[in-house]
A and B are shown apart, each in its own frame.
Chain A
Amino acid sequence: MRAILTIKNLRKHFPVKNAWGTDVALVKALDGVDLKIEAGKTFGIVGESGCGKTTLMRTLLRLIEPTSGSVVISEEIIGDKVSSNNLEELTSQELRKFRRQIGVVFQDPMGALNPRMIIKDIVSEPLVIHGKTDNMRNRVIELLNNVGLGEEHLYRYPHEFSGGQRQRIVIARALALDPKILVLDEPTSALDVSVQAQILNLLNDLQKKYNLTYIFISHDLSVIEYMCDRLAVMYLGRVVEEANTEELFSNPQHPYTKALLSATPSFDKNKEKIMILGDVPSPITYLDESKAKLATEMTEQEKLEIKSIEGKGIEYIVRSSLNEVFPLVRISGEHYARKVK
């Protein structure tokens, strides 16, 4: 296994201040994440909103500074003439070089494209910024051809395109500088299934053509299962399970993973259902020690919901039982999970 990025014990805590500006609590958006991202493969990150997926993506791009921990970049991305291979210690010149190697595709294409710029300017902007202006027009047309658009689209504005075409433009721009890694933050969640199928096919083709490494963030498990080679499930800022996709889908270990897999709507009516009861707990941890720990006893809502589904033969887990933190252990081979009693 050739790791292209190695994330070591990454933490990002956002302070919560009171009216006088003193810290009263921390939002632990990332709380000790260890991941290895393999070159040429697709690494998936799943989890519900608020679990830290996007914060992880932002720290990987160094858009925000982590509280502690490090991201180690392999030599093939950044070369061996750098002061350090730790993302946090790169000089601004080296950071520019790193950012050239990593492209980003965001969730909402209309929000990612400037409505007042024509497609030619949008796609060539990274080339201008990084000073690769020779033969730029041909390069832009080549990029557009790669994603299934053509020369006739050069002088149009984003609003003249459909949702799927806009996402293609975003992908073309992300590929402008020949990156080795592409970070895809929910690239298809704003799209219909038929358009989604087109975009997923396009991404697979591009990966083969340019030997790209994908970091694929999504909450749609059917898309994740289709795209990813390896998968990490996140819950409240921690990785609760990590395994190769087939292994994880056939043999989930952590109760949250099991519930997540069974909660995905499917056509199979006989599929085993595990409901997850209660609301997502707040990720705020108070500095005051008496309030510091998340309660592990059941909340009122969970009791109510248990009462309402009792006797219907539905299996369930309650969220408060997930609040206690257990260490990540190896299940078998490359499969890691947090064991719960």
Chain B
Amino acid sequence: MLEIKDLKTNFNTYDGVVKALDGVNLKIKDGEIFGLVGETGSGKSVTCYSALRLLPKTGEIVGGSIVLNGEDITNVSEKRLREIRGGEIGIIFQDPLSALNPVMTVNEQIGEILVLHQNEEINDLASEKKIPAYKSEKWKASPGVEFTIMAFCMSFISLFVMLGQWRFSLPFLFVIVSMLFRNYLQGNNSASALDLLVIDALSRVKLPNPEQIASSYPHELSGGMQQRVMIAMALAGKAKMLIADEPTTALDVTIQAQILQLIKDIQKEENMSVLLITHDLGVVAETCERVAVMYKGKIVEEASVDEIFTNPKNEYTKGLLNAIPKGGKERLKVPNLKEVEAS
């Protein structure tokens, strides 16, 4: 599905070049959940941003290639990249509240993805059900502007009435009446094809009352619901691959269990590939099939989940596993990084 070969990413800073990725090799097969573990600064997130070419201006890919379904996307055009992002690879970020736009409703945000990637489906559904594809934009100004227009019209009406020329006030009366009955005049308040698809996307992530949630703003939802909306957005473009960058770090353990269960269910239903980036080895043990451990921009060990927890080969992996408190009261072993680097 996604293959990353010898990827090298550098960041140019005033203090010199930071080699964030130093030859990363990854292969994610169709329909598997792949875990990428590492500590802060090990390059896990940079790997996923490099794969989608979402690096900031200071970062650049200096070597290696990224192959998606046999297509080399290392140097493809921005136009093709826009199709890939959301259309072929969906992404979930760590903090749902900062990833969602606070001034757009859920409906608008998911609708945006659908318009970009699912335009044909929207039109198909519209012609099939004989409903409009999109809701027509209503003429609507801010309340202040509307009030000013109303006040002007009223003053003109009273002026003409006082002058005895009431016939001249008729056009202004017409403006006021049409503003008051705007909703009826524009008509068509039924759901459009886009709305139906948004509601469909929300019910896929098991949100109750999708109609109500579609019309709410992100801050009105709880953390778990926000993360569900993020997952719905990532899946809306019918992506076959999902990159989840620390999807549960901001959530409580009980909600985390729900979200991980949801990701597992959806992965199974749609036979998707999932790249799960996390620093929590427990999360990896519960969800993933294969796992790679990153340290200082390199992958130090890659194995199946069972093997890495029962029989870790690399010194760093061993150190990480030993540092986690597991019952017992004996002193925790801190990984000795000098030894790790020597080996």
Give the B-binding residues of A (Cβ under 8 A): 48-49, 163, 192-194, 196-198, 200-201, 204, 219, 221-223, 225-227, 249, 259-260, 263-267, 269, 273, 275-277, 279-280, 299-301, 303-305, 308-309, 314
Q: Are A49 and B252 in contact (CB under 8 A)?
A: yes
Give the A-binding residues of B (Cβ under 8 A): 39-40, 206-209, 222-225, 252-258, 260-261, 265, 279-283, 285-286, 309, 319-320, 323-329, 331-335
- Interface contacts beyond A194-B335, A263-B254, A279-B224: sample of 13 additional A-B pairs, CB < 8 Å, sorted by A: A193-B320, A194-B39, A266-B282, A267-B282, A269-B286, A277-B258, A279-B222, A280-B255, A299-B208, A301-B206, A304-B208, A305-B206, A308-B206
A260, B257: Cα distance in complex, Å: 10
Q: Are B261 and A309 in contact (CB under 8 A)?
A: yes
Which among A200, A259, A303 is the interface contact of B332 at CB below 8 angstroms? A200
Most buried by B among A48, A193, A276: A193
Which among A198, A226, A314 is the interface contact of B329 at CB below 8 angstroms? A226
Q: Are A197 and B258 in contact (CB under 8 A)?
A: no
* Complex A-B, nearest 7 residue pairs according to Cβ-Cβ distance, in ascending order: A265-B282, A226-B325, A300-B208, A197-B323, A48-B252, A197-B332, A301-B208
- In this complex, what residue of B is CB-closest to A205? B331
Whether A263 touches B209, Cβ cut-off 8 Å, given contacts A223-B325, A269-B285, is no
A273, B324: Cα distance in complex, Å: 21
A197, B331: Cα distance in complex, Å: 9
- In this complex, what residue of A is CB-closest to B331? A201
- In this complex, what residue of B is CB-closest to A163? B40
**Could you show 20 A-B contacts with beta carbons less than 8 Å apart?**
A193-B279, A194-B320, A194-B335, A197-B332, A200-B332, A201-B332, A219-B252, A222-B282, A222-B325, A226-B325, A226-B332, A265-B253, A273-B257, A275-B258, A276-B254, A279-B255, A280-B222, A280-B252, A303-B208, A304-B206
Q: Are B254 and A48 in contact (CB under 8 A)?
A: yes
A193, B256: Cα distance in complex, Å: 18
In angstroms, how far is the closest chain B Cβ from the Cβ of A330? 26
Q: Which residues of A contact B260 (CB under 8 A)?
A: 265
A275, B265: Cα distance in complex, Å: 14
Q: Are B323 and A196 in contact (CB under 8 A)?
A: yes
Q: Which residues of B contact A276 (CB under 8 A)?
A: 254, 257-258
Q: Are A219 and B282 in contact (CB under 8 A)?
A: no
A263, B257: Cα distance in complex, Å: 6
Q: Which residues of A contact B282 (CB under 8 A)?
A: 222, 264-267
A204, B319: Cα distance in complex, Å: 20
Q: Which residues of B contact A264 (CB under 8 A)?
A: 253, 282
Most buried by A among B260, B282, B320, B328: B282
A223, B329: Cα distance in complex, Å: 11
Q: Which residues of A contact B258 (CB under 8 A)?
A: 275-277, 305
Q: Are B285 and A266 in contact (CB under 8 A)?
A: yes
Q: Which residues of A contact B206 (CB under 8 A)?
A: 301, 304-305, 308
In angstroms, how far is the closest chain B Cβ from the Cβ of A107? 13
Q: Which residues of A contact B265 (CB under 8 A)?
A: 308
Q: Which residues of A contact B283 (CB under 8 A)?
A: 265
Q: Are B253 and A197 in contact (CB under 8 A)?
A: no
Q: Are A225 and B331 in contact (CB under 8 A)?
A: no
Q: Are B331 and A48 in contact (CB under 8 A)?
A: no
- In this complex, what residue of A is CB-closest to B327? A225
- In this complex, what residue of B is CB-closest to A198? B334
- In this complex, what residue of B is CB-closest to A276? B254
A259, B254: Cα distance in complex, Å: 8
A192, B37: Cα distance in complex, Å: 11
Q: Which residues of A contact B253 (CB under 8 A)?
A: 48, 219, 221, 260, 263-265
A219, B253: Cα distance in complex, Å: 8
In angstroms, how far is the closest chain B Cβ from the Cβ of A228? 10
A279, B252: Cα distance in complex, Å: 11
A226, B223: Cα distance in complex, Å: 28
Q: Which residues of A contact B329 (CB under 8 A)?
A: 226
Q: Which residues of B contact A280 (CB under 8 A)?
A: 222, 252, 255
- In this complex, what residue of A is CB-closest to B221? A279
Whether A267 touches B331, Cβ cut-off 8 Å, given contacts A194-B319, A197-B323, A279-B225, is no
Q: Are A194 and B323 in contact (CB under 8 A)?
A: yes
In angstroms, how far is the closest chain A Cβ from the Cβ of B304? 12
Q: Which residues of A contact B280 (CB under 8 A)?
A: 265
In angstroms, how far is the closest chain B Cβ from the Cβ of A302? 8
A265, B305: Cα distance in complex, Å: 14
Whether A192 touches B285, Cβ cut-off 8 Å, given contacts A197-B323, A267-B309, A304-B206, is no
Q: Are B222 and A194 in contact (CB under 8 A)?
A: no
Q: Which residues of A contact B254 (CB under 8 A)?
A: 48, 259-260, 263, 276
Q: Are B334 and A194 in contact (CB under 8 A)?
A: yes
